[in-house]
C-alpha cells in the first residue's frame, strides 16, 4: 500500500483488478492496517474487528446451542507435546515459531500453529472411562505459522487471528460419524449467514491434514475462478488417539482408543465474503455480520439545519433500539459521506432532507443494488428489517449464480487452462489415481485438483487416462 | 496438585488454608487445569471460561456504550518498537519472551508483555490533525511475561489470559483528565458486578507503570489481610507520546503531542472474587458472572421417578428462557450432586421431590447462606430473579464488612507487623518521602506501602519520621 493511496483516501482499483482492489479496500474501509512492521501480521481496526466479533457471536451461539463448550488452551506448546505425533510435527515444524526466554534464552516451546498438540495430552488426562465421553470443546484463538509464501490479509497470514477450532472425542466410530454430520450442518448455517455458497470437497488422502484419516474441506471462490480453502472437517479416526494415548476403559475393563474429529475456520470466512460481495465502490457487508446495518445521513440545506438535525436524531434514537445504526452528523458533504460508507459496505443508507420531512418520509438506499425506496416515517423500522433480509438473500443468490456459472465440466487437460483464463473452475472425471492427479497439476504452474465432489452419481472418463470413474475432481488455482 | 487429591475429587482444604484451598478449588470446580506442562500457563475449562466470558461481556457492553471501541494488535512486537520507549523496555525486557523463526531462527520480535509498544507506533500513523482525536480503543488479549516469582493461577501467571486494556489519546490535558474520571466510573461498575469492594490508591511516582506520570491502582484483599493489585488507570501524560512521536497539528499548524492514558484488568478480577467469596464448601460465584445461575436437582424416590423427572424437565424448560440453568439428571445421589455444585459455587440450587410436587412447590437453596425457601411453582421465575439479586448484594455487603474490619489505623511500625499477624491491613500517615517509605518496607520481608488514599482529609504524624502530613499510606503484603 503506497503512501499516495493512503493520503488520497480514494479507492482507485476496480473490482476486476481483484488483488489490488482487495488490498485497497481492506485499508480504506478500516478493516485492517497492514503497515504494522511484522510481515503477515496486521492491526484489526474497530470496524473490521466488529464484523469479526459479529461472526464470532454467530458461531458461539450456534455451537454452544449444539452443546459444544468453549475453553482455552495455552499459546505455548511444549516441544515434547509436539513430538508425540510425528506426522503433525513434520507438517508444522518448519513453520512453527519457537519461543525463548529467561537468562539462558532457553526454548520454552512452540507457539501453537494448530490446536491438537496442546489439547490432546490434556484429553488423555481427562478421559478415563466411557462416562467421560464425549468431549466436545472448542476454542477461539490466534494461531501462528511462519508462512514463506506470499501473505494476504485475512487469507494467508502469519498471525491467523480469531480462529475457531472444535475438537471432539467419542467412544465409538458411529458417535464420531454423527458428530461429523452435525458439524457439516452447523457450518452450512455459517456459510448461509455469510451469504456465501461453498464448494464442499473430499480431499485425496495424501492431501489431508497431517495425521488425519479423511476430510471434507470447504472452498470459497473468487470472480477470477480461483479458490481458497475456507474451513474443513477432519476425521482423525483413532490416529491421534494412538499418538497421544487417549483411551478409556470399556464395559469389559479393556482399553479402547477414542475416535476424534477436529474442524475449524476463522477470519477467512470474512476474507472470502469480502472478495465475493464487493464491487467498484467498495465492500458490501452481508447484513448478518455488518458492524453497522444502516447509516443515517442528514441532507442539510441552508435554513433547514435545525429541523433536519432534529428529525435525524429522533430517527437514530428510535432505530438504534433494534439495529446497529450510525448517525453521520460530521461536517462533510452528503456526497463525501456516501463515498465513505459505500467503501465500508454498510448495507443501507438512510437519507433525510427537508423535502422528506415535509412528506413525513425517509429514503432508504440499498448498498447492493443502489435502489432507492421512499418510506413513511412510521414504517422505517419494519422496512429496514425487511430490506436487510432482502439484501442478505440477494447477496447469496448473486454469489450462487456466479459459482454455478463458473463450474465447467471439462474433458481435456488443455481446456482446464482455457477455463481458468475465462475465470472458470474445471470439473473433471478422475480415476482416483495419484499419478493422474499429478498429471493434472502439470498442466500449468499452480493448477491443482483441490478435491472431489461429495456425490458420485455420474460416470465419465478420467480426464488423464480415460478410465471409467464416478469421481469428479474440481480443478483450479489457489487465490 | 497431587494425584491423590485429583482422584478423590474431594475438597480437603479449609478456606482458612487459603492458598491450598484456592489451588484445590480452582481445579475441582473446573475453572482451570494446571497440569499443562508449561510453568505458569493453565488450561481454562469450559465452566471457568464461561465465567470469564460473562465478565468480558460485561466490560464489552460497558466500555462500548461509553464509545470505546474494540480492536486488535498483533502478538509479536518488533524489537525496534519496544526500544522506542526505554523506560518501558527496561521494565519488561528481561520478562519478555522472544520469538524465533525461519531457517536461520532469527529473532522476529517479542511476545506482547503489555500493549503500548505495539499500539503506539500505529497511533502515530493514525493521528495527523485534531479531527483524528480522541482515539479511544481497547483490546482483549493474552499477554506474556516470564515471571520468575512464584506463579498463582489467575493472579500471577506467565500467560495473562483475557486481559482487557484500554488506550486513549487526547488533544488536551483536560480531555485526558475527563477520560480518566470516566474510566474510574466504569471500573467502579465492574467491581460492583463482581461483588467486590476495592481499595483505590495513588502510587508513589517511583512505583508507577514504567514511563507513566501517575496512576490510580486497584487492590482487592484476602481474608488474610493480604492485597493484590487488581487493575489500574495510568496517566501517561505526554511521556509516551514523546517517545513514540504521536503528535497532531493544532489550529496554528503547530505540532502538539497528544495526552494519553491506559488502563486495564482481566482474569485477576475473577481470582480476586474467588478468594473473597468462597467458603469451606468451595467457590461462591457472584450471580452476575455465574456460568450457571441455578441447578435443578430432582429428588428421586422409588415409584416416583417419572413424575419427578417430568416436573424437573418442565421447570428447566420454563426457566432456561430467562436464566442460565442446568438440570442435573445424572445417575448420582442428590448428596453427591449438592457437593459438586457447591464446589462450583452455583448461586442457587433448586430441589424438586415428590412432596414438593404434591404441594405444587420447589425448594430454593442459597449457596451463600444455605437458607432454604419453599416457593410456589407459579412464582419460581420471579423468586429466582429476586434471590440472585439478593445473593449479589449479600456477597458485596459481606466483603465490604470484611474490608472495613481489616483496615486498621496504625501509629507505630511495630504495630504493622501485629496487624498483619491478625489479618489486618495497616493505614498509616506518611510524609511522602521515599526514605520513610523504604523504612516501612524494612519492618518485615514482603511488607510494603502499596499506595496512598485518594482523599487527603485528616492530618497525622508520619509513622516513621513524625512529620505532620495529610497523606495516608496502606501497608500490607502482596498475596
CA atoms within 13 A on the CB side of A445: 0
Statement to judge: residues B124 and B268 lie in one domain: yes
Q: Residue A138 pLDDT > 50, yes or no?
A: yes
pLDDT digits (tens, 9 = 90+) for A260-278: 999 999 999 999 999 999 9
| Min Cα separation B147/chain A (Å) | 9
A398 domain-assigned: no
Tell me if B33 sits within 8 A of B27, measured CB to CB.
yes
Statement to judge: residues B389 and B453 lie in one domain: no
Task: Give the three cell numbers for residue B165.
Answer: 486494556
pLDDT digits (tens, 9 = 90+) for A326-371: 999 999 999 999 999 999 999 999 999 999 999 999 999 999 999 9
- Residue B60 contacts by C-beta under 8 Å, 6 or more apart in sequence? B70, B140
| Min Cα separation B44/chain A (Å) | 5
Chain A residues within 8 A of B144 when measuring between CB atoms = 75
What count of other Cβ atoms lies within 10 Å of the Cβ of residue A247?
A: 17
What count of other Cβ atoms lies within 10 Å of the Cβ of residue A23?
A: 18
Chain A residues within 8 A of B43 when measuring between CB atoms = 71-74, 122
Statement to judge: residues B158 and B188 lie in one domain: yes
What is the rounded distance in angstroms from the CA atom of residue A287 to the CA atom of residue A348? Answer: 9
What stretches of B222-310 adopt beta strand conformation (E)?
Answer: 227-237, 247-249, 255-257, 259-265, 294-298
What is the rounded distance in angstroms from the CA atom of residue B34 to the CA atom of residue B55? Answer: 21
DSSP per residue over B436-452, as a string? HHHHHHTTSTTEEEEEE
A394 domain-assigned: no
In angstroms, the first-to-last Cα distance of chain A is 19
Residue A334 main-chain phi, psi, to 5 deg: -55, -40
pLDDT tier at A214 (50, 70, 90 boundaries)? confident
| Domain end among A277, A306, A339 | A277
Cross-chain CB nearest to B161 (options A37, A44, A72): A72
What count of other Cβ atoms lies within 10 Å of the Cβ of residue B26?
A: 24
Q: At B375, is the secondary structure helix, strand, or coil? A: strand
Statement to judge: residues A299 and A268 lie in one domain: no
| Smallest CA–CA distance from B48 into chain A, residue | A71
| Smallest CA–CA distance from A38 into chain B, residue | B78
Cross-chain CB nearest to B37 (options A49, A69, A81): A81
Pairing of strands B199-202, B159-170: unpaired
Choose the mutation target among A9, A30, A35, A38 for the interface with B, i.e. most B CBs under 10 Å.
Answer: A38
Compute the C-alpha angle B32/B36/B40, nearest 5°. 75
B282 domain-assigned: no
Q: Residue A148 pLDDT > 80, yes or no?
A: yes
Give the pLDDT of residue A213. 84
Statement to judge: residues A455 and A417 lie in one domain: yes
Kindly compute the dihedral angle of the four CA atoms of residues B354, B355, B357, B358, in this order, to the nearest 10 degrees: 120
Chain B residues within 8 A of A84 when measuring between CB atoms = none
Statement to judge: residues A164 and A189 lie in one domain: yes
Q: Residue A3 pLDDT > 60, yes or no?
A: no
Give the pLDDT of residue A208. 81
Task: Give the three cell numbers for residue A306.
Answer: 435545525
Given CB atoms, is A124 within the 8 Å cutoff of chain B?
no
Q: What CATH number is given to the structural domain containing A125?
A: 3.30.930.10
pLDDT digits (tens, 9 = 90+) for A156-166: 999 999 999 99
B114 domain-assigned: yes
- State the average pLDDT for chain A: 95
Domain range for A438 = 406-477
Given CB atoms, is B64 within the 8 Å cutoff of chain A?
no
| Domain end among B403, B431, B464 | B403
Cross-chain CB nearest to B70 (options A50, A81, A102): A50
Give the total residue count for chain B. Answer: 479
| Min Cα separation A127/chain B (Å) | 13
| Smallest CA–CA distance from B53 into chain A, residue | A70
Which ipTM was obtained for this model?
A: 0.96
Statement to judge: residues B414 and B399 lie in one domain: no
Given CB atoms, is A53 within the 8 Å cutoff of chain B?
yes
pTM: 0.96
Q: What CATH number is given to the structural domain containing B349?
A: 3.40.50.800
**What are the residue ranges in chain B where pLDDT is below 50?**
1-2, 4-5
Statement to judge: residues A197 and A231 lie in one domain: yes
Given CB atoms, is B109 within the 8 Å cutoff of chain A?
yes
Beta bridge partners of B447: B477
Statement to judge: residues A202 and A141 lie in one domain: yes
| Smallest CA–CA distance from A120 into chain B, residue | B36
Percent of chain A with pLDDT over 90: 94
- Residue A178 contacts by C-beta under 8 Å, 6 or more apart in sequence? none
What is the rounded distance in angstroms from the CA atom of residue A29 to the CA atom of residue A289? Answer: 15
Chain A residues within 8 A of B118 when measuring between CB atoms = 36
Choose the mutation target among A41, A50, A55, A163 for the interface with B, i.e. most B CBs under 10 Å.
Answer: A41
Chain A residues within 8 A of B53 when measuring between CB atoms = 70
Chain A residues within 8 A of B46 when measuring between CB atoms = 69-71, 137
A283 domain-assigned: no
Chain A neighbours among B 76-105 (CB < 8 Å)?
76-78, 80-81, 94, 96-103, 105
| Min Cα separation A166/chain B (Å) | 13
Q: Do B99 and A97 touch (CB under 8 A)?
A: yes
Chain A residues within 8 A of B146 when measuring between CB atoms = 101-102
Statement to judge: residues B336 and B360 lie in one domain: yes
pLDDT tier at A6 (50, 70, 90 boundaries)? low
Given CB atoms, is A49 within the 8 Å cutoff of chain B?
yes
Q: What CATH number is given to the structural domain containing A470?
A: 3.30.110.30
B15 domain-assigned: no
Q: Do A80 and B37 touch (CB under 8 A)?
A: yes
Chain B residues within 8 A of A41 when measuring between CB atoms = 74-76
| Min Cα separation B356/chain A (Å) | 30
pLDDT tier at A2 (50, 70, 90 boundaries)? very low
Q: Do B43 and A109 touch (CB under 8 A)?
A: no
Which residue in A396, A395, A342 sits closest to A365, CA to CA? A342
Q: Do B36 and A74 touch (CB under 8 A)?
A: yes
- Residue B155 contacts by C-beta under 8 Å, 6 or more apart in sequence? B228, B268, B271, B272, B479
Statement to judge: residues B265 and B328 lie in one domain: no
B63 domain-assigned: no
What is the tally of structural domains in chain A? 3
Give the pLDDT of residue B212. 83
Task: Give the three cell numbers for residue A52.
Answer: 469479526
Give the pLDDT of residue A1. 47
Residue B294 main-chain phi, psi, to 5 deg: -150, 145
Statement to judge: residues B95 and B192 lie in one domain: yes
Give the pLDDT of residue B2. 45
B344 domain-assigned: yes
Amino acid at each position: 500500500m503506497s503512501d499516495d493511496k493512503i493520503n488520497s483516501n480514494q479507492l482507485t482499483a476496480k473490482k476486476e483488478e481483484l488483488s489490488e482492489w482487495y488490498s485497497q479496500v481492506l485499508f480504506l474501509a478500516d478493516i485492517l492496517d497492514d503497515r504494522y512492521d511484522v510481515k503477515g501480521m496486521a492491526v484489526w481496526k474497530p470496524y473490521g474487528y466488529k464484523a469479526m466479533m459479529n461472526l464470532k457471536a454467530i458461531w458461539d451461539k450456534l455451537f454452544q446451542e449444539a452443546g459444544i463448550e468453549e475453553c482455552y488452551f495455552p499459546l505455548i506448546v511444549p516441544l515434547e507435546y509436539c513430538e508425540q505425533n510425528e506426522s503433525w510435527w513434520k507438517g508444522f515444524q518448519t513453520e512453527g515459531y519457537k519461543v525463548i526466554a529467561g537468562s539462558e534464552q532457553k526454548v520454552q516451546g512452540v507457539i501453537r500453529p494448530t490446536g491438537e498438540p496442546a489439547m490432546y495430552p490434556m484429553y488423555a488426562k481427562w478421559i478415563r472411562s466411557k462416562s467421560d465421553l464425549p468431549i466436545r470443546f472448542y476454542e477461539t484463538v490466534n494461531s501462528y505459522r511462519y508462512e514463506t509464501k506470499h501473505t494476504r490479509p485475512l487469507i494467508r497470514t502469519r498471525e491467523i487471528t480469531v480462529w475457531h477450532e472444535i475438537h471432539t472425542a467419542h467412544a465409538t466410530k458411529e458417535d464420531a460419524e454423527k458428530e461429523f454430520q452435525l458439524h457439516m450442518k452447523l457450518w452450512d448455517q455459517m456459510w448461509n449467514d455469510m451469504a456465501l455458497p461453498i464448494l464442499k470437497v473430499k480431499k485425496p488422502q495424501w492431501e489431508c491434514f497431517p495425521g488425519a484419516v479423511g476430510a471434507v474441506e470447504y472452498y470459497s471462490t473468487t470472480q477470477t475462478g480461483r479458490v481458497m480453502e475456507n474451513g474443513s472437517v477432519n476425521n482423525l479416526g483413532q490416529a491421534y488417539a494412538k499418538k497421544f494415548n487417549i483411551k478409556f476403559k470399556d464395559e469389559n475393563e479393556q482399553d479402547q482408543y477414542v475416535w476424534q474429529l477436529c474442524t475449524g475456520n476463522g477470519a477467512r470466512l470474512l476474507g472470502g465474503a469480502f472478495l465475493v460481495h464487493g464491487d467498484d465502490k467498495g465492500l458490501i457487508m452481508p447484513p448478518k455480520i455488518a458492524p453497522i446495518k444502516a447509516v443515517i445521513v442528514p441532507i442539510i440545506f441552508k435554513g433547514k439545519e435545525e429541523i433536519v438535525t432534529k428529525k435525524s436524531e429522533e430517527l437514530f434514537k428510535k432505530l438504534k433500539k433494534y439495529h446497529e445504526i450510525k448517525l453521520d452528523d460530521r461536517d462533510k458533504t452528503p456526497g463525501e459521506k456516501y463515498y465513505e460508507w459505500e467503501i465500508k459496505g454498510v448495507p443501507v443508507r438512510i437519507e433525510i432532507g427537508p423535502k422528506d420531512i415535509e412528506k413525513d418520509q425517509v429514503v432508504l438506499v440499498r448498498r447492493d443494488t443502489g435502489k432507492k425506496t421512499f418510506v413513511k416515517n412510521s414504517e422505517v423500522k419494519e422496512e429496514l428489517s425487511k430490506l436487510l433480509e432482502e439484501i442478505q438473500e440477494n447477496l447469496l443468490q448473486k454469489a450462487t449464480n456466479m459459482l454455478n456459472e463458473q463450474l465447467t465440466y471439462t474433458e481435456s487437460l488443455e481446456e482446464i487452462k482455457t477455463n481458468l483464463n475465462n475465470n472458470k473452475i474445471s470439473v473433471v472425471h478422475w480415476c482416483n489415481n495419484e499419478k493422474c492427479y499429478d498429471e493434472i497439476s502439470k498442466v500449468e504452474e499452480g493448477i491443482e485438483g483441490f478435491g472431489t465432489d461429495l456425490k458420485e452419481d455420474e460416470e465419465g472418463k478420467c480426464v488423464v487416462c480415460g478410465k471409467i470413474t464416478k469421481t469428479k475432481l474440481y480443478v483450479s488455482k489457489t487465490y
